[in-house]
Structure 1
Amino acid sequence: MRGAKKILYITLGIFFLVLGSIGALIPVLPTTPLLLLASLCFVKGSERVDRWFKDTKLYKRHLERYIEARGITMKKKIIILLVSDTIIVISLISSKSIHVKIFLVLLMMIKCYYFIFRINTIKEE
């Protein structure tokens, strides 16, 4: 049974890694949380796979500093917010459904709150 759990964690890790990789290219998907989930799954699944993941450019670029410093720089926050808000605003303008528009506005508000008040801002090196 223990082997099945490891396989499940590795499989989930790969799934979140793929989604996080897509998120690195398409700003609508949240890259960092998905890669954090992948990392958690790899830690629980296999020490070897976890070491491999932590040696990837994707991990080093999107997670390493966040995990070490427990935050991101103001510049990165602004870039993430601008890119994601631009895509959300385009969707907001093109949508005809009031329910979708309300959802998108709420999404923007929650995202901005989270980035401003919940994620620590660290100084640039």
Structure 2
Amino acid sequence: MRIVWLLIGFLSMGIGAVGVVLPVLPTTPFLLLASFCLAKGSARFHRWFTGTNLYKKHLESFVENRTMTLKTKFSLLIPASCMLILAFLAMQNVYGRVFIIFLILFKYVYFFTRIRTVPAGQNRIPEVEG
């Protein structure tokens, strides 16, 4: 089973790396999946993955502090919204369309109320003195 986790992890990492270059392919979900799968498959590969620039640039702040840059948020939300809009247009069922609209709204509300937005290049939440 470890080999399956490692294969899925490396495949996800590859897709996530391609997503850095292609704007229509989201990077962060694939890198999160890669991190999870590599951790399940091998502690050594997980340590290696968390040390890569790919992880540090796109995931580290989210994993540690639940923060993302505005660019990262939109790189996740826009492609997913486009896919949901295509599903909305293809669907004839009124209840299905209402559900898709709800899902799109929920994603944006969640991303902008539950995940803190930080300026580009800032990986950590500033410490509050007190």
TM-score of the pair, normalised by structure 2: 0.63
Measured in 2, the distance between the counterparts of 1:35 and 1:77 equals: 12
Question: In the alignment, which of 62, 65, 88 is matched to residue 66 of structure 1?
Answer: 62
Alignment partner of 1:38 out of 34, 49, 52: 34
**Please, which of 45, 50, 61 is the counterpart of residue 49 of structure 1?**
45
2:65 partner letter? A
Q: What do residues 94-125 of structure 1 show as CA deviations (whole Å, max 9, x unaligned)?
A: x88878xx598666434323322342x14434
Structure 2 unpaired stretches of 5+: 123-130
Distance of 1:96 and 1:37 partners within structure 2 = 29
What are the residue-to-residue correspondences of 1:93-108 with 2, within 5 Å?
Answer: 108=104
Cα displacement (A) at 1:76 = 3.0
For 1:26, the equivalent position in structure 2 comes to 23
SS in 1 for 2:68: strand
2:104 and 2:25 map into 1 onto residues whose CA distance is 11
Contact 1:10 1:45 in 2 (8 A): yes
Q: Distance in 1 between matches of 2:5 and 2:80?
A: 33
Paired AA for residue 14 in structure 1: F
Contact 1:77 1:115 in 2 (8 A): no
CA contact (8 A) 2:67 2:118 kept: no
Contact 1:28-1:87 within 8 A present in 2 as well: no
State the shift of 1:19 in Å: 2.1
Cα RMSD after superposing both structures: 3.4
Q: What stretches of structure 1 of length at least 5 have no aligned partner?
A: none
Residue by residue, what CA displacement relative to the aligned partner does 1:39-60 show, whole Å, maximum 9, x if unpaired?
0111111122112211211111
| Structure with the bigger percentage of helix | 1
Confirm or deny: 8 A CA contact 2:10 2:34 kept in the other structure.
yes
Local SS of the residue matching 2:59: helix
Change in CA separation of 1:107 and 1:19 when aligned onto 2, cut-off 3 Å? farther
What whole-Å deviation, never above 9, does each CA across 1:11-45 have from its counterpart, x for those lacking one? 1101211222222233343x212211110111111
Between 34-43 and 107-116, the greater mean CA deviation after superposition: 107-116
% identical equivalent positions = 37
